[in-house]
Structure 1
């Protein structure tokens, strides 16, 4: 089948390439000519394992191309996926839908036959219905709006698109062509449905709420164990052992119970805030009031690590040399949006320290956000004459470190494990001062 994907960021580029991998004829559309040129040349403008191979394979096969031309896209297909960003509004909690609206306002007047806009982006509940009204006000042609939320994890985005754990499609059943929309989406995902991946049909509002509810739940689970880690710190208990014990309970499970620096990235923080904002607009803010404390706990972890760094340097960071290992918000990604690691590095610098950051993939993105920090090209360079080393993103390159790797270069044998990902006994046995979060 033919389809288009509007937006070529993490979501859109991955979705476009993977729809081509499923055998469809796909056009990716973006207003950024530089991004389009890179993708057309087979270059992924961000780090996502495996995506470059999928992109290049389908460009070569002729199933995938990229353009800035909306008219070209409008003529190409009847199915138009919407994968643009919905960032947090400046100075507010709510989601900024200007990119979503821009696609609809530009595309719809160019349509010459009945078409569907299928949302992938994470949006406030009620957006899809409003977009349907907005689209049909722009044309006499029948335009349907459906919602098919994404559930991508950065670092696993290709896998999560080609073999998701579920497919959700929200439809407006009051529309006569709802069955037409459903059949087209079933055809596009036929291989996945044949592979017995669950396909859930819902109304529009439910489909919109699935993704943001999932993110809110994960954020709550992460902040829960981080709150418990604060109690562990006050009592001498071990949050890692505690989490292992909790994880054996089938009702709870072990995943996302890793205490540490907390969550970040382009989804969880802004999505839970947008969820709170939209719930307030609907008069249901009391129902998600707990998310404000989830957010507070998460941000409190960052200042905790800054305080730990100051204690490691004798009570003051002024003039200290601090090595920060990790800048991306998670391993296997170069994404530094709302990165706890980079935020901590910036706060430590504001306290007067000389901060040197190393990350295997995120240095260039970090430099654009925090140009005043020092950046290294290796662990050894970052840790040269360091008074304290902070491990803030759990890349394998960092979790595999041994005390012998760093002893020749550091000034003080002091390490803060912001992800509880190191063997604290091995470091202490080697004579290092080790500090973790929620661990004795």
Structure 2
């Protein structure tokens, strides 16, 4: 059977999944309550930056496999499988996740479900959410239990989301029936034929896989940054330490790069929501280590400000500071919980004249922080700077020529917040080079 798919929510996850599932040959309808966003997507205008996605979006709009709507009634009539792609942000003033967008989507979609279908949750949620939503779905849908829920967490990496959708490293599927498993095996048939591993499990395990993966990655990042703190205290080199650890195949080198730490819309809020949910379940002691993971991560930002202040002569007053990077990671325009912008704002609050440049996230940063100055290139942003900070490891910054940059700055002082530059090359060009965790 050729299933027709709907994507409920057309943010980062929904827009990416819509375009990529259409690319695999499915008829896809994206649905969202935001009429302006739907109009942009229908016109082929992607409201986010993701390498390669715009081309996939426009190609499938043109061939008719993909379109967008604001009508839940239309989506219910169209779709055989409804993907829930809603955000679960951190609740204001607390650690827990806000799942209200998922509840609203079920409440809007379910009353129109008059034939058998599968509703597939993709969002990152506190364990226990899927069963509660499954009960609500069956209660509100005219077809009753004929509208079944399954949970299929996403593992997209910003900057690689098209590849991760079309060629996933695994598929995790939480189901309550053999029928739901059969439907999803057919939907993901092309991926399974390529040998993609699939784990069939229950709702709670599927929900936990995503938050457990993010907690592990966050822990690995904070571990090497904790080692950077010890290296700074003992005059050791965390880059060489990390390299030596990476050759141990039990440890590996991925996510073992010391620097400014993690940010974005997933890792920080997911580990906090995980702690909050564990507390509700009476298992809070199991995750107390994540509080330190979070604290180590935030300390790196404070340490970067301290290092910059040292190079500025002990005070930012009257000092011009260039911040290279605004996105929380390269190949993205996402500035949510961006360590780079956090550092820039703190320096500005301490009296520094801060100029930011990012090749993609510039406008998002400008809207969020109009109090900062912005340059239209790395060289323009660095003009007359007393200190340069590399805080997002865009390739364009890694490729900067230290001699050329040195001709526009007031003093050749740089702090490498991502350990991305060759220290000896920069020092040979007369730069005072500092980096987190290095002598």
SS in 1 for 2:201: strand
Corresponding residue for 1:265?
264
List 4+ stretches of structure 1 deviating above 6 A: none
> 2:186 & 2:23 partners in 1: Cα distance?
14
Contact kept, 8 Å, 2:137 with 2:147, in 1: the verdict is: yes
Aligned ranges for residues 48-87 of structure 1 at < 5 Å? 48-87=50-89
Q: Mean alpha-carbon deviation: is it higher for 274-283 or for 429-438? A: 429-438
Contact kept, 8 Å, 2:113 with 2:142, in 1: the verdict is: no
> 2:417 & 2:380 partners in 1: Cα distance?
20
Q: CA deviation at 1:72?
A: 0.6
Corresponding residue for 1:119?
121
Q: Normalising by the residue count of structure 2, what TM-score does the alignment of the two structures yield? A: 0.98
> 2:356 & 2:75 partners in 1: Cα distance?
42
Corresponding residue for 1:175?
none
Q: CA deviation at 1:114?
A: 1.9
Corresponding residue for 1:96?
98
Corresponding residue for 1:168?
172
Post-superposition CA distance 1:133-192 (Å, at most 9, x none): 1112213412211100000000000000000000110012xxxxx222111111111100
Corresponding residue for 1:253?
252
Corresponding residue for 1:105?
107
> 2:306 & 2:251 partners in 1: Cα distance?
31
> 2:6 & 2:318 partners in 1: Cα distance?
54
Contact kept, 8 Å, 2:84 with 2:120, in 1: the verdict is: yes
RMSD: 0.8
Corresponding residue for 2:235?
236
Corresponding residue for 1:405?
404
Corresponding residue for 1:324?
323
> 2:114 & 2:280 partners in 1: Cα distance?
36
Corresponding residue for 1:300?
299
Q: Does 1:377 align with 2:376?
A: yes
Corresponding residue for 2:152?
148
> 2:318 & 2:72 partners in 1: Cα distance?
54
> 1:95 & 1:405 partners in 2: Cα distance?
47
> 2:94 & 2:309 partners in 1: Cα distance?
32
Post-superposition CA distance 1:191-233 (Å, at most 9, x none): 0011110111010101001011000000000000000000000
Post-superposition CA distance 1:276-304 (Å, at most 9, x none): 00000000000000000000000000000
SS in 2 for 1:137: helix
> 1:317 & 1:218 partners in 2: Cα distance?
34
> 2:407 & 2:34 partners in 1: Cα distance?
46
> 1:218 & 1:436 partners in 2: Cα distance?
22
SS in 2 for 1:434: strand
Post-superposition CA distance 1:308-342 (Å, at most 9, x none): 11111110012210000000000000000000001
> 1:167 & 1:14 partners in 2: Cα distance?
17
Corresponding residue for 2:20?
18
SS in 2 for 1:155: coil
Aligned ranges for residues 337-352 of structure 1 at < 5 Å? 337-352=336-351
> 1:250 & 1:307 partners in 2: Cα distance?
35
Runs of 5+ unmatched residues, structure 2: none
> 1:61 & 1:161 partners in 2: Cα distance?
20
Corresponding residue for 1:29?
31
> 2:184 & 2:318 partners in 1: Cα distance?
59
Corresponding residue for 1:353?
352
Corresponding residue for 1:158?
162
> 1:154 & 1:338 partners in 2: Cα distance?
14
Aligned residue pairs total: 435
SS in 1 for 2:242: helix
Contact kept, 8 Å, 2:238 with 2:437, in 1: the verdict is: yes
Runs of 5+ unmatched residues, structure 1: 173-177
Post-superposition CA distance 1:90-110 (Å, at most 9, x none): 001000011000000010001
> 1:277 & 1:132 partners in 2: Cα distance?
22
Post-superposition CA distance 1:418-437 (Å, at most 9, x none): 00000111111111110001
